[in-house]
Amino acid sequence: MNKEQLAAEVARVLRSGAVFGIYDVMQTGPGEIAFPVPWATTAELSALADPQRYKNALQKAGFNVISERTRRDFALAFFADLRAKTAAAGGPPPLGLHVLMGKNTPEKSQNMIDSISKGRIAPVELVAHKP
C-alpha cells in the first residue's frame, strides 16, 4: 500500500487535534526476508517499509510524529508463548489465524519469526498528532 496516500487520506478525514496510531510490521534492519509470511506470499505482494517511510509520509500529510516504539521483544515473547500453548494443547485451536492463513501457516509464521529474530523486521508502533 502507498504509505503517502494512506497518510494523506487519514489526514483528510481526521479533525485537528486528533491522534492517529499505526501498528504494523516494518523493516527494521538489512537483509532479505523469506516468503511466504502472514501478509504476503511473495516479495512482490508485500508492502513492507521501514519506519522512516511511514514517518515521512505522516509528516508530509501534516502530522507530527510524537512517539515510536519497536515491539520486537514483545513479538518474540508472544510467539514463544503461542508456540508453547499450541504444543501443550496438542495442536492449534479449532479457530485461529491458521484458518485464515491456510495450510502453510507454520511456514509463514516461522519465516516471520526468523526475520524478527534476525532484526530484519519487527512490529512498530507510531503515534502521530494532527495539529
- 110 has a pLDDT exceeding 80: yes
At 122, is the pLDDT very low, low, confident or very high (cuts 50, 70, 90)? very high
Q: Give the predicted TM-score (pTM) of the model.
A: 0.88
Q: In whole angstroms, what is the distance from residue 88 CA to residue 116 CA?
A: 24
CB atoms near residue 39 (< 10 Å): 15
The grid coordinates of residue 63 equal 502530522
**What is the DSSP secondary structure assignment for residue 53, as one 8-state letter?**
H
Helix (H) or strand (E) holding 51: helix 51-60
- 52 has a pLDDT exceeding 90: yes
**What is the DSSP secondary structure assignment for residue 15, as one 8-state letter?**
P
User: Dihedrals φ, ψ of 14, to 5°?
Assistant: -90, 145
